[in-house]
Chains A and B, each alone.
Chain A
Amino acid sequence: MCLAVPGKILETKEENGSRLGRVQFGGITRLVHLDFVPEAGVGDYVIVHVGFALSKVNAEEAQRTYEMLEEMGMLDESQDSGFRSQDSG
């Protein structure tokens, strides 16, 4: 029930008083309700659940934390030769 997937808005339109978007997920596109994300537009990524966009993906935050993780990944690789589990304490 909490399954929600990120997709990219390709175009938007108004229909029946609702704002809809054609959203691309990998190889497929779906029509998605954009009423809960008035701030999202063409080119933005949204998280979609049961045919409704619930949030606009915060690209800056995603980038920032991803860079932190990448750094951690590179540091770890340079410190040892692979995965190990360590007994501590």
Chain B
Amino acid sequence: MKYLDEYRDARLARALLAELAKRVTRPWVLMEICGGQTHTLMRYGIDELLPSQIELVHGPGCPVCVTALETIDKAIHIASLPDVTLVSYGDMLRVPGSHSDLFRVKAAGGDLRIAYSPMEALKVARANPQRRVVFLGIGFETTAPPNAMVVWQAAREGLGNFSMLASHFLVPPAIRLLLKSPTNRVQGFIAPGHVCTIMGYRQYDELCREYHVPIVVGGFEPVDLLEAISMLVAQLEEGRAEAENQYVRSVGYEGNRPAQELMERVFEVGDRKWRGIGMIPQSGLRLREEFAPYDAEKVFGVEDATAEEPAECLSAQVLQGLKKPVDCPAFAVRCTPETPLGAPMVSAEGACAAYYQYRRPRELSAISSQLPAKTPSAP
């Protein structure tokens, strides 16, 4: 496939690794922000092929992982109502809520449908006027314009039975939070290529200047990530701290203006709670007041729900790069994709899921297959 296969070329990967080995003179700690990038690094074993001085830690760029526990509970509550059809992206189904998950709601007879595109939720709403159709709209900036389009279109049509439960996150405030932390070890960032396809990378200039840290926008294929790592190491070795772009085939400095404009018309920036990490100011998007009839929080009166996270899950530390999934005592033993303690083990972009798939030690999987399945506490 064009624009994909070329970036999986082993010969180019080897050349980049050899370049890197020549260039690196000191230890460096780098973080890739996006969970999709984490999966590629793990899948192709890039973390093990890099020169030993380079350490990769994984960032919080997994919207399923950082969606607040309260939001999952709200979705479960809404989906359990008899006249509601909940439409969601696939990997939300097994994310643990406080007492249950969406998969159990479906198993108990709830009308839950998986969608590839948010526009499918509109189709369901148009075809089923007697049902209240709710779209679980989660994501970072990449998914915000499509989700905005859905609400925009619903408002244009006056589709009264449609609403969206929005859980949207912004990347730059999360990077800022990590950089401000006294325990931060990250010296360079690979920024998420598809978030930057929408937003550009102008927002990173300020962070680079303020914290003297290089940020390189990277793609998602092995050659992309190796090139981005190369560019970061070059900057670090030379003492530079700039925002640069590796993913030039998709990302421009200003980003996608039509997409940004629609986001601005439908959403506004607000404070948001990130699961595990806590509240990050001005780090989320919520629907503007004029779209209140399409805001599921208001339609179903669930704005003020609160929830408590179980203590055993270390996702907070994993999402901030302070611990690796294999450091967690529950990893692959009590916490598996079928019986997850937290979101990073079930999300397609979760770091724990990536390690489980590509890096699980044989002894652990033998133990976990002998343990009885963990059942979360009953509601």
Contact = CB atoms under 8 A, between A and B. Distances in A.
Interface of A: 1-6, 8, 16-17, 25-26, 33, 35-38, 45, 47, 49-52, 54-55, 57-59, 61-62, 64-66, 69-70, 72-73, 75-77, 80, 82-86, 88-89
A62 B252 CA distance: 12
A75 B35 CA distance: 33
A74 to B, nearest CB: 8
A77 B15 CA distance: 8
A46 B173 CA distance: 29
B236 interface: no
A69 to B, nearest CB: 5
B349 A2 contact: yes
Contacts of A49: 142-143, 146, 194
A33 B192 CA distance: 22
Given A1-B349, A50-B143, A69-B227, 18 more contacts: A1-B62, A1-B348, A3-B36, A6-B3, A26-B1, A38-B258, A47-B197, A52-B145, A57-B3, A61-B249, A62-B3, A69-B16, A69-B223, A76-B14, A84-B21, A86-B18, A86-B21, A88-B21
Interface string B168-197: 000000000000000000000000111101
A52 B139 CA distance: 14
A6 B1 contact: yes
A85 B17 contact: yes
B248 A65 contact: yes
Q: Considering the complex of A and B, which 8 residue pairs feature the smallest CB-CB distances, nearest first?
A: A51-B117, A62-B249, A6-B3, A61-B248, A76-B15, A73-B15, A36-B259, A2-B36
Interface of B: 1-4, 6, 9, 11-12, 14-19, 21-26, 34-36, 51, 61-64, 89, 116-120, 138-140, 142-143, 145-146, 149, 153, 156, 192-195, 197-198, 220, 223, 227, 248-252, 256, 258-259, 262, 348-349
Given A2-B34, A57-B3, A51 B256 contact: no
7 contacts: A1-B139, A2-B35, A2-B36, A26-B1, A50-B118, A52-B149, A86-B51
- Residue in B2, B153, B197 with the greatest tally of chain A CB atoms within 10 Å: B2
B150 to A, nearest CB: 10
B194 A2 contact: yes
B162 to A, nearest CB: 15
A33 B248 CA distance: 22
A1 to B, nearest CB: 5
Nearest to A64: B248
A38 B256 CA distance: 11
Contacts of B9: 73
Nearest to B251: A55
Nearest to B248: A61
Given A62-B249, A83-B18, A85-B51, A54 B145 contact: yes
